[in-house]
Amino acid sequence: MTPPPFSTIILGGTGQVGAAAVDELLAIPECREVVMVTRKAVSPRERVRNVVCDTNAADFAARIKSLATEMLAQQGHVSAVSCVGIGKGTAQWSEDDLKRVEVGVVGAFARGCHDGGVSNFALLSAVGSTASSPFKYVRVMGLKEDAVRAVNFARLAIFRPGIIIGNAHTPGWSGLLGAFLAGGFGNIDQHILGRAIAKEVALRQRATGEVIYENADMRKLAAE
């Protein structure tokens, strides 16, 4: 299936999964541009534009709104992606610090995209995420999902991977454990996850409603 031309604005594109998603987006010829919103400048690449923002600034959502509005006016269809996730440097953060990034920053990014006219949003979360979980990580991921869900995108795709292999933040023992876990809690390669995100963006431009992708769903989507 050949998708219509599109562009993508992404938060978290310098992380492990985010970088895989960017690579997969750029592998699709119909992708006109990937706009990476980052806190620091990144190396230039063809069809990649870097916009440096202070994600903690009070006007962050407003800046994203202006960026989204400009992209839509110039390039037609634009989807938004958040690949912000917990890595080695943030795994030991307090719950308040995690919520500040995962809920506050991602939520502001989502609101800015929506207010700028973006209708499709892809969100990296985690298997089993729910705001009512007794476990900090799962609870914060659930709160993040709820924050983005409340923005009311026409299309919201939530990616809930299990143990992400091929990822520098995943300990080797976790990957071995994941090989024995069934369903959504087992292993998924980060390149397949990145490809699934790119395929959602490219192939589901006219789709509506909320969809949740777990490991098996992501493998199927990545193979389309």
Q: Give residue-wise pLDDT tens across range 103-127.
A: 999 999 999 999 999 999 999 999 9
For the stretch 188-219, pLDDT in tens is 999 999 999 999 999 999 999 999 999 999 99
Residue with tokens 């960017």: 22
Residue with tokens 């969100």: 123
What local confidence, expressed as pLDDT, does residue 183 receive? 58
Band (87; pLDDT cuts 50, 70, 90): low
Q: Could you give the domains of the chain?
A: 6-222 (3.40.50.720)
For the stretch 135-161, pLDDT in tens is 888 899 999 999 999 999 999 999 999
Question: What is the chain's length?
Answer: 224
Band (94; pLDDT cuts 50, 70, 90): confident
Higher pLDDT, 62 or 182: 62
Q: What angle do CA 206, 217, 129 make, to 5 degrees?
A: 95
For the stretch 70-85, pLDDT in tens is 999 987 899 999 999 8
> Using CA atoms, how far apart are residues 128 and 136, in angstroms rounded to an integer?
12
Residue with tokens 């562009």: 7
What local confidence, expressed as pLDDT, does residue 202 receive? 97
Q: Dihedral, CA atoms, 165, 110, 105, 130, nearest 10 degrees? A: -60
> Using CA atoms, how far apart are residues 109 and 112, in angstroms rounded to an integer?
5
What local confidence, expressed as pLDDT, does residue 91 receive? 60
What local confidence, expressed as pLDDT, does residue 186 receive? 81
SS3 for 96-134, per residue?
HHHHHHHHHHHHHHHHHHHHCCCCEEEEECCCCCCCCCC
Predicted model pTM = 0.91
List, in order, residues 6 or more apart from 122 with CB less than 8 Å away. 79, 80, 81, 82, 157, 159, 197, 200, 201
Band (169; pLDDT cuts 50, 70, 90): low
Higher pLDDT, 173 or 7: 7
- Nearest Cα neighbor of 19 from 28, 11, 31 is 11
Residue 182, pLDDT above cutoff 60:
no
